[in-house]
């Protein structure tokens, strides 16, 4: 099951939506394990463009599809949308 990532550093990743470096990942709430390593299907939100992303099985990032978003548990949808809104309100 997908979860939002806790703090982790992953070198050489870029956002597939905007091309910005995505080498630091942090959960938006305290529910995640601190310093956890990302796993396939974990979710992150790009700090530069606010797009929700998902780790692939090869540990690359790709955009979350609408269908995948709709199939997420409601709590996770709210958390992702909240992170996106907070980033957009900061002007990112």
C-alpha 72/C-alpha 50 separation (Å) is 18
Tell me what pLDDT residue 13 has. Answer: 87
Q: Does a structural domain hold residue 57?
A: yes
Tell me what pLDDT residue 25 has. Answer: 58
Q: Does a structural domain hold residue 37?
A: yes
Q: Does a structural domain hold residue 52?
A: yes
Q: Does a structural domain hold residue 45?
A: yes
Q: Does a structural domain hold residue 3?
A: no
Q: Does a structural domain hold residue 1?
A: no
Q: What is the pTM of this model?
A: 0.74
Cα Dmax for the chain: 32
C-alpha 44/C-alpha 25 separation (Å) is 7
Inform me whether the pLDDT recorded for 84 exceeds 90: no
Domain count, the chain: 1
Q: Does a structural domain hold residue 53?
A: yes
Which range marks the domain in which residue 68 is found? Answer: 8-89
pLDDT tens for 16-73 read: 999 998 876 554 444 555 556 778 888 888 888 889 999 899 989 999 999 999 999 9
């Amino acid at each position: 099951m997908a979860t939002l990532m806790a703090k982790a550093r992953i070198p050489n990743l870029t956002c597939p939506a905007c091309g910005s470096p995505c080498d630091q990942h942090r959960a938006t709430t305290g529910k995640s394990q601190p310093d956890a390593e990302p796993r396939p299907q974990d979710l992150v939100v790009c700090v530069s463009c606010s797009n929700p992303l998902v780790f692939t099985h090869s540990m690359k990032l790709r955009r979350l599809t609408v269908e995948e978003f709709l199939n997420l548990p409601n709590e996770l949808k709210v958390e992702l949308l909240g992170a996106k809104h907070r980033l957009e309100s900061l002007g990112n």
